[in-house]
Structure 1
Amino acid sequence: MPELPEVESLCRFLAERLTGRTVDRVYPLAVAALKTYDPPITALEGLAFDGVARHGKFLDLRAGELHLLVHLARAGWIRWQDELPEAPPRPGKGPLALRVRLAGPGRAGFDVTEAGTQKHLAVYLVRDPEQVPGVARLGPDPLAADFTPAALAALLAGERRRIKGVLRDQAVLAGIGNAYSDEILHVARMSPFKPAASLSAAETDRLYAAIGETLTAAVERSRGLPLRELKAEKKSGLRVHGRTGEPCPVCGDTIREVSFSDSSMQYCPTCQTGGRVLADRRMSRLLK
């Protein structure tokens, strides 16, 4: 799933190529992906993009008074093409959900795609990003200048949940998902099951530093890369997430996993839990 660093890289990539370019045609191909109808998606035609922004994991492509917002969900992506096929695309069962063709020579443009059978990609055309419920409920951006250790401490105060779940909650912090929450907690040397409200001032400061360090480094690694390489770069840069059974790059212990119904998390026992192996919920059910 694209998270803050990948969406930030998409934002920068598209800003360089879209700003000042006029939309020639819009081809909506997956009706289920379109979450708004007024204004219609074709209202973009004839307008020029004048900026690209990010709200958590949402891309915001601004054209005059309209905002094309895209949430890539688990398997969505943006594919830029310097020369789109001349023939218009046909709706079907493939991954293509939306095509935007730009005016001018070369037929440049981009496709919004979604792989797999579970379709959660969301596209909105609105006059104000706050009209999108997912944007309206977002918490602070962890890379924003006003996100301070004190701000993090205030968010964690009174939280009854475990820190892993809090970090993934978009209403608490915008843009962090399953992968980077694993990475942040590993850098912070913190158990994913630690109650958020129990963090000491020193632990909160350590977590704050880990958030900034992890996300900033991921954004910098992605800077300047073509879109087709961003997913591979994310995977290669992860230290614990998705690396069950591999040695921890810090201490050499075996990276462990806890599985849930629709996701899993990875951690290092030595670095994060004092050597204790956390119970794997999936295996526990199988052994009953």
Structure 2
Amino acid sequence: MPELPEVAALADFLAARLQGAVVSKVQIVSFAVLKTADPPISDLEGRTVTAVRRYGKFVAVEADGIHLVFHLARAGWVRLTDAPTGALLKRGGGHIAVRLSFSSAGGPLDLDLTEAGTKKSLAVYLVRDPSDVPGIAALGPDPFSPGFDVESLAAILTSSKQQIKGVLRSQGIIAGIGNAYSDEILHAARISPFAIASSLDRPATERLYDAIHDILGTALAEASGKPASELKDAKRSHMRVHGRAGEACPVCGDTVREVSFADTALQYCPTCQTKGKILADRRTSRFLK
């Protein structure tokens, strides 16, 4: 799933290619993906793209006062083609959910919103204001907003009885962080993913705050300027624990471990984060009894 660094880079990439382009045609291939009816999606046609912005993990394409907002969810992505065929798409076929065609000074462009797999979560909204999207209206502070300081984070943690992994992933608490970067942040901060947020002392809170900015800041710098086709590989290549179960921790050399859940998993280093304790894995623990 793309998170803050990839979505920010994607928004910048699209802004550079689409700003000033005119929407010539909209094809909705999967009607389940479109979550709004007013204004109608046809209202996009003939409008000029004026900006592309990020809100948490959402991307908003502004076109003459209305906003096409999309959330890529777990398996969604974008594909920008500068040599479109002009073909009409058949509903229910392939991975393309939405195609936006543009005319620009550099020639025609097609922007496809795609989604792989059988679990469809890609969401598209056409709204007059981004805050009309419920997910954007409910977003917590952005980690890079001026008001998000260590005191703000301390207040969030003090008031929460959740595990810290869940706090970092909750978009209504802090915007933009998902499963992968929460693993990386907690590893850098030397905090167990199962630690209760309110139990973290001041030194741990400061380490967590620094790790949020260090991990996300480095990832932002790495993603900046890359085309959409390279962002997924760039994200994977810089992970130290996420997706590295069974490999050696690059900090201490211990084996990176995994805890699996129904539809996701987390990775951590026992030496760096849990004082050597192996966390219970609900998927495999029943075989160990």
Please give the TM-score of this superposition, normalised by the length of structure 1.
0.98
Give the equivalent residue in structure 2 for 1:67: 67
Which aligned pairs between 1:196-275 and structure 2 lie closer than 5 A?
A: 196-275=197-276
For residues 5 and 196 of structure 1, the distance between their equivalents in structure 2, rounded to whole angstroms, comes to 24
Give the equivalent residue in structure 2 for 1:277: 278
SS in 1 for 2:146: coil
Report deviation, 1:93.
2.8
Give the equivalent residue in structure 1 for 2:55: 55
Give the equivalent residue in structure 1 for 2:170: 169
SS in 2 for 1:274: coil
SS in 1 for 2:59: strand
Which aligned pairs between 1:1-288 and structure 2 lie closer than 5 A?
A: 1-104=1-104, 106-287=107-288
Aligned length: 288
For residues 138 and 244 of structure 1, the distance between their equivalents in structure 2, rounded to whole angstroms, comes to 31
Which deviates the most, 238-247 or 278-287? 278-287
- Which amino acid is 1:47 matched to? R
- Which amino acid is 1:32 matched to? A
* Cα-to-partner distance string for 1:104-161 (whole Å, 9 max, x where unaligned): 4632121000001110000000001111111111000012122100111111112111
Q: Note the residue ranges of structure 2 that are not aligned, 5 or more in a row.
A: none
- Which amino acid is 1:83 matched to? A
For residues 6 and 161 of structure 1, the distance between their equivalents in structure 2, rounded to whole angstroms, comes to 27
CA RMSD of aligned residues (A): 1.1
For residues 262 and 125 of structure 2, the distance between their equivalents in structure 1, rounded to whole angstroms, comes to 29
- Which amino acid is 1:211 matched to? I
CA contact (8 A) 2:246 2:256 kept: yes
Which deviates the most, 20-29 or 97-106? 97-106
Report deviation, 1:83.
1.6
For residues 13 and 144 of structure 2, the distance between their equivalents in structure 1, rounded to whole angstroms, comes to 18
CA contact (8 A) 2:10 2:227 kept: no
- Which amino acid is 2:20 matched to? G
Report deviation, 1:92.
2.4
Report deviation, 1:287.
4.1
For residues 270 and 40 of structure 2, the distance between their equivalents in structure 1, rounded to whole angstroms, comes to 52
SS in 2 for 1:69: strand
For residues 130 and 122 of structure 2, the distance between their equivalents in structure 1, rounded to whole angstroms, comes to 17
SS in 1 for 2:206: helix
SS in 1 for 2:284: helix
For residues 222 and 5 of structure 1, the distance between their equivalents in structure 2, rounded to whole angstroms, comes to 7
For residues 171 and 87 of structure 1, the distance between their equivalents in structure 2, rounded to whole angstroms, comes to 40
For residues 275 and 60 of structure 1, the distance between their equivalents in structure 2, rounded to whole angstroms, comes to 44
SS in 2 for 1:282: coil
* Cα-to-partner distance string for 1:169-199 (whole Å, 9 max, x where unaligned): 1100001010000000000011111110011
For residues 286 and 143 of structure 1, the distance between their equivalents in structure 2, rounded to whole angstroms, comes to 44
Report deviation, 1:68.
0.5
For residues 86 and 43 of structure 1, the distance between their equivalents in structure 2, rounded to whole angstroms, comes to 20
For residues 214 and 273 of structure 2, the distance between their equivalents in structure 1, rounded to whole angstroms, comes to 17
SS in 2 for 1:108: strand
Report deviation, 1:59.
0.4
Report deviation, 1:223.
1.4
For residues 238 and 264 of structure 1, the distance between their equivalents in structure 2, rounded to whole angstroms, comes to 15
- Which amino acid is 2:142 matched to? D
